[in-house]
Every structure is written in structure tokens, then in C-alpha cells.
Amino acid sequence: MVRYLWLAFFLLFVTSVKSENPDSLRISVEKALTAKDKIPALVILSEYWTSKNSDSAIFYSDKLQQAALESQNAEGYFQGCYNLVSALYETDRREEAIVQAQKAIAFFDKKADKAHKVNLLVLVAEKSRMFGHYEAAIKYFGEAAHCGDISEMENMKAYIFSRMAAVWFEIDKYQLAEAYIDSSQRVLKPELNESISISNLEIMGASQRNQGHYQKAIDYLQEALKKITDTSFILIEANLYNNLSKTYLAMNDFSNALSYALKSDEAAGKAQNKIQIEAAAECLAKAYAATGNYNLAYNYLEIQQNLKWQRNAKTQNRLIAEMNARYESDKKEARIAEQNFMISQEKRENNFLLAGIVLVVLILAYVVFTQLKLKKINRLMFLKNEEINRQSAELESKNQKLHELSDFQEAMTGMVIHDLKNPLNTIINLEYMEKNPEKARIIIEKNGRAMLNMVMNVLDVYKYENTTLKIREEAINISKIAVEACNEVRLLAQEKNLDINIISKADFIINADSELVLRVFSNLLANAIKFSKNGENIAIVLAESEPGWLKVEVADKGDGIDPQILPLIFDKFAQTVKKKSGLAGSTGLGLAFSKMVIEAHGGNIGVTSGVGEGSVFWFTLPLMKKTEGDDAIAENKQISIKTKKLKLSEAAFEELAPYLEKLRKLDVYAVSEIHSCLKTIPVSKDVDVQDWKDEVFQAVNSMNRKYYHSLLNR
């Protein structure tokens, strides 16, 4: 939004500044005799550094505020505050930004300066929306919209309504979003600002798509594209193409989805916007995968993942750079201080010597005095050196921690890539299957869910490490969630020939987020399967540990956990330690995420384990109610998820012998040949033969190579 009020002030004073070079402007500020004379140069410096360096922008914007207040210059104070708030948000100092904005809003409220107050409210609201603080965004947009009659401000009310629509859209309140779009269009004057109209059409299109009205979504997005008349809208154009690609993907029109994804990628490349390039790469990966071009799908998926990691690593890299710069600066200042001290000491000694020559009569008294003085100075130097050494050791320790953080990031990246490799390989190897879209879809969905679960664990652990995990509570039957989780990991259990038993005396009802609790079950079951031996059982026990509390236990019979690692098992940083010691080969952030989920629900999570005795992971959740069986002393209810290999009788094995020889020569990817061979087996009176055929079909359809070969041998 054009800040037209500030522009008049800027043009008024910029003519008094001879050069826009930052160094010359800084000199102008230093030479200025009054606060009023400093303002023109400070305005340019503040605006210049806003787009280049946030720390410098904060420094000069604060100077501009002080000078403007001292000289009672409202325009300068507004510009300084506006740039200061923007820069503070860019450096993740949200609380300071809001404090500064509130001070300025109160200042202009007293002066009845509506335009500046509205612009500041809109700035804070938009920044809050961009950083995901939606309640704050709604609050500040509402205050801006109710600041009296703002119709004389160029399309300001239309802009506010459009941004409020964006907030409601981002929190999935589509009806409210569309209502605000209608309000924005009613007060909009398109001849003054066409970009608001384009933004409104884009939000309407995305809203219609998310509600399943795909043709309406396409119509809105195409109308928005027609309004783009020059290259200044290249970033908006990239986003519109991306929305069209997503819409066609939802319609399974992969040809058009691929076409618009390529246009989005091209426009995003011209705009050099990494976020839009990442979004385009995601659509391209999906479109190429849907059209069978898995190599290109993999390449674009890799581009998307790399850009996502770059965004996550950006903050850490900036912190490392700042700490290194501070470390070098402190060392340099300490060295300069020491040199200045030595120079001053040398001058002092020369003065003492000259005075001694002149005052020969007082030489003895002077020598005694000088010795005492030197002793005191040496003592001060010793204390100073001790302080410098202490500070140097602290800086060295901080530098070491930064290196350890870098090593952790490298190790974590390697483990994530390792975990992503297996499901990606399975998807890529679909070319060995017959052209059966339904089977391919099932396999892609299974492996995609595995990758999604791992990526969501990584993102959620870092996203919610210092914030509150948002949960959507509802009444759920915990037994049903357990069964659903077992079905998700069924194929993993099948590879190790494991059975999963769910033991519960009652139907327990809890008030919790079913999706998050399901992910906790899946993480704990996947962990138990990984460390269980072939042919063993895994038990899920649901019981009321104490009145009003449900306790869930997931028990395996693996090798157990080393006592040294046990206290750190739910710590995300412990995984790199375990990897170096050969005890883990994946991120393990599932356990850290599980701890966050359970504690967000008010429960506790833990593990009991001993080397060679297996492990029992447990967690507790508040209990709403339980439904007991008809018999008060009934046995525990038990649900078994069978995954163990079928045992053939001697007679059945002999009957199948001729066909087993043929099947052993075929790999699990030869789906057509295997199906043809199985169809030649005649109908048998032996039930085991038919069950065996069904198991072979299931192993082939799920691409479970190990289970397939185990069925061909006794």
C-alpha cells in the first residue's frame, strides 16, 4: 500500500541532501547542528537500510524517531516508527515491534492524525498475518477499519477488507473470507489500485478450490490473470499460475496442472522469489508423478526439499555469522585496548624519566614513588589480562557450541535424507509393475504417508519447540485410534512377521486431537517394530491407571535401550549422539514430537527398558468416560492384528510344489507373470492353499519383497 502521506514529507526534504551515498548521509547527520537538520538524511538512511540490513535499519530508524520527537516533526516520527517496526519484525523481535507500534499509535491518536494511525495499524496487522499470529492480525485490522471515515484514503478500506479476507482464508474460514472480499469489491476504486482487485480474485479462486468448486476457482483465477498488464505483477502472476496448477491437480487434470506449474516456475524464476519457486516445484513434482514421469518428479521434489531446508537453516546461519562477527570484534577491541594501554604506559615512563633527569635532587624519592606506582599498574594489568583471558575462553566456548550446532544440522540432514530414500525408491520403482493406476496409487499413498509423517515430525518439533502446539479436541474412542494406527504400520510389521495385540478392558473415551494422537501411536508402533526381532509380538495395553486417567503402553521384546541413552530418549538432540554410536539410523524426532503432543494434552510420557528385556513406551491422557462390558468381571478385550506368515501343511506344500518352483524364479516386481502363475493353480479343497494364494497376492500388491520370498519357502 502506497504510504502517500510520507512521500510528500520525503520529497520536501530530499532536495536538501547533496548525496544519497550512505557514508555521506551519515556524515551529514554527524555535522548537523540541530535535530531538525538531521531528519532529511536520517529519513533516507532509514529507508535505504530497511531493504538491505535490518540491524542498520533499526539503528537509523530509532535515531530518526528521537530527532523527530525532539523537533516535533510528526512526519519524520511516523516514517521512523514505520521502518523500525518493519525491521524489528524481520529480526523476529515481535514483542518490541508491537510496543513501538502501540507508542506511535497512541501518539498519533492524541494528535487526531487518522492516516498515520491507520497505516501503523495495517502494518502491524499484516506483519502479524505473515508470521501466523492471526488473532492479532484480526484485532489490528478491525481497529484500522473502525478508525472513523477513512474513505478519503486511497482504497484503504478496500485494502483492509482484502487483507482480512486473506486472514480468514488462511485459517480455513472460507465463508467469512468471501464476505470480506465482497465488502472490499463494493468500496474498491479499481482505477486507483488494480492490485487489490487482483488479490481479491486470487483469494476467491483459492477459497472456491478448497471448497471443491473447481470451475468457479478457475474462472476467478483466469479473471485475475487478465487484469495483469505489465511485468510489475510478475510475483502475483507466479502465484496465480501456482493456484491454477493446484486446482487442476485437485481435478486430476494433470496436463493442465503441469502446464500452469511450468508457467509458475518460470514467473517465479524471473521474480527470483524462492518461496514461489518452492511452491512451483511442489506442484511440478506432483504433476510429473501423476503423469508417470518419476525422474522429473523426484528432481522437483528434491528442489522443493532443498529450498525448504534453506529457509529453516537461514535463521541458524545468520546467528552463526553474527556470533562469529561479534567474537572477532571483541577480540579486535581487546587487542586495541591492550595496545593503547601499553602506549600510554610507555609515554608515562618516558615522562617519569624526563622528570627524574630534571629533578636530580628528588631522584631517590621519585624512584621509590615510581616503583610503587609500577607495582600497582602491573597488578591492574594482571587483573585486566585475567579478565581478557576469561572473556576469550567464554567466546571460545560459544564458538564451540556453534560448531556443535552445525554438526548437528549436518547429521540431521543426512538422517532425514536416509529416511526419505526408501519410500522414494519404492515410488520410483513402480515402473516395474504392470500399468495398474489403482495399485500404483495405493503404493504411492502408503510411502507418501510415511514421508509425510516423518517430515511433519521434523517440522512440528522445530515449529512448536518454543510455541504452543494447537490442538483440536473432540471425543474419541482410543481403541479405534489404536486399531487405525496398527493398520497404518501393518506392512512394516508384516516385513518382520510380527503380530500386534490390542488389550483393553473397556471402551475408553478421551477428549483429544484424534490426528495428533494417531501420529503418537504410529510413531511408537514404528519404533517398536524397528527394534523387535522377527516373529515376536507387540502389545498395546489400554487401562485406567488411576481415577480419571488413561494409561497406554506399547511394549516390544527387542534388545532394550542403553541406560546412558534412556534419560535422553525424548530429546531431539539425542538422536545425533545415538547415530555416532551406531545405535540409530534415522531422525528419531517422532519421539520428541510425541512428547510435545502428550504434554499439550496435559498428560505424561515415558519409557521403561532394560538391556535384553525389551522396552515399554507409555503415556497418560485425561479420561472422559469408559464403557464397561456386560459382565463386571469379564476378561480383557483383545484385538489381534495378524501379520505372521501363513503356515502350510505338508499336503498343501506338496500340492503347490510345481508352482513354487516357477514363482521362486520371479521377483516381486514381475506382477503380471506372478498373477498369471497364480491363476493357473486349480481350486483346492485345502483351505490353506487358498489362504496362501491370497497372502501372495497381498505381498505382490504391496511390493513386500521379503514377505513374498518367505511365502515361497517353508
Distances (CA, A) of 451 to 420, 427, 454, 521, 558: 6, 11, 5, 16, 25
622: in domain: yes
Q: Examine the domain organization and report whether 65 and 125 are in the same domain.
A: yes
Distance CA 25, CA 64 (A): 13
Same domain? 661 vs 592: no
Average the pLDDT over 45-62 and give the result: 83
Residue 503: pLDDT band (50, 70, 90) is: very high
- Is residue 129 domain-resident? yes
Question: Is there a domain that residue 89 lies in?
Answer: yes
Q: Is the pLDDT of residue 538 over 90?
A: yes
pLDDT of residue 616: 95
pLDDT of 416 strictly over 80: no
Q: What is the CATH number of the domain that holds 541?
A: 3.30.565.10
How is residue 619 annotated by DSSP?
E
- Whether residues 148 and 131 fall in one domain: yes
Mean pLDDT for the stretch of residues 538-544: 94
Q: What per-residue confidence (pLDDT) applies to 692?
A: 82
Q: Is residue 81 part of a domain?
A: yes
Boundary-marking domain end, from 611, 641, 671: 641
| Residue 480 within a domain | yes
Give tens-digit pLDDT for 112-139. Answer: 777 888 888 888 888 888 888 888 888 8
Give residue 585's pLDDT. Answer: 43
Same domain, 48 and 177: yes
Share of the chain above pLDDT 70, in %: 78
What is the C-alpha separation between 133 and 127, in angstroms, rounded?
8
- CB of 350 closer than 8 Å to CB of 314: no
Residues 425 and 507 in one domain: no
Q: Do residues 94 and 189 both lie within one domain?
A: yes
3-state secondary structure string, 527-565?
A: HHHHCCCCCCEEEEEEEEEECCEEEEEEEECCCCCCCCC
Please indicate whether residue 486 or residue 323 has the higher confidence score (pLDDT).
Answer: 486
In this prediction, residue 117 carries a pLDDT of 82
Last residue of a domain, one of 372, 402, 429: 429
Q: What is the DSSP string of 338-393?
A: HHHHHHHHHHHHHHHHHHHHHTGGGHHHHHHHHHHHHHHHHHHHHHHHHHHHHHHH
- Once rounded to an integer, what is the mean pLDDT over residues 400-408? 65
**Residue 444 domain flag:** no
Report, as an integer, the average pLDDT of 684-704.
74
pLDDT at residue 635 in the model = 43
CATH code of residue 86: 1.25.40.10
The C-alpha cell of 624 is what? 472422559
For residue 140, what are the domain limits?
Answer: 4-229
Q: Identify the CA nearest to 248 among candidates 261, 257, 259.
A: 257
Asked whether residue 304 is assigned to any structural domain, the reply reads: no
Q: Does the pLDDT at position 203 exceed 60?
A: yes
User: For position 101, what pLDDT does the model report?
Assistant: 83
pLDDT for residue 598: 92
> What is the spatial distance between Cα 432 and Cα 671, in angstroms, rounded to a whole number?
8
Mean pLDDT of the chain: 78
- Domain match, 667 and 609 both: no
Neighbours of 86 (CB within 10 A): 20
Residues 592 and 622 in one domain: yes
pLDDT at 98: 86
pLDDT of residue 326: 58
Burial readout 582-616 (b: 16 or more C-beta within 10 A, e: otherwise): eebebbbbbbbbbbbbbebbebebebebeeeebbb
Least confident of 103-112, 183-192, 317-326: 317-326
Domain shared by 152 and 20, yes or no: yes
What is the domain count for the chain?
4
One domain for residues 389 and 496: no
Whether residue 682 sits in one domain with residue 604: no
Rounded Cα gap, residues 595 and 618, in angstroms? 11
The pLDDT value recorded for residue 584 is 43
Same domain, 391 and 478: no
User: Which of 641, 659, 679 finishes a domain?
Assistant: 641
Residue 287 lies in a domain: no
Q: Which residue has the higher pLDDT, 707 or 280?
A: 280
Question: pLDDT value at position 430?
Answer: 59
Place of cell 522429473: 296
Residue 478 predicted with pLDDT over 90? yes
Task: Tell me: pLDDT of 552 over 90.
Answer: yes
How many Å from the N-terminal Cα to the C-terminal Cα in the chain? 74
Backbone φ and ψ for 130, nearest 5 degrees, come out as -65, -30
Q: What is the pLDDT of residues 325-371, one digit of tens each?
A: 556 666 677 777 777 777 877 788 788 788 878 888 888 888 888 88
Cβ neighbours of residue 460 closer than 8 Å, sequence gap 6 or more: 469, 593, 596
Q: How confident is the model at residue 627 (pLDDT cuts 50, 70, 90)?
A: low
Mean pLDDT for 695-714 is 74
In angstroms, rounded to a whole number, what is the distance separating the alpha carbons of residues 498 and 310? Answer: 40
Distance CA 262, CA 245 (A): 9
- Do β-strands 549-556 and 537-546 pair in parallel, antiparallel, or remain unpaired? antiparallel
Q: Does the reported pTM lie above 0.85?
A: no
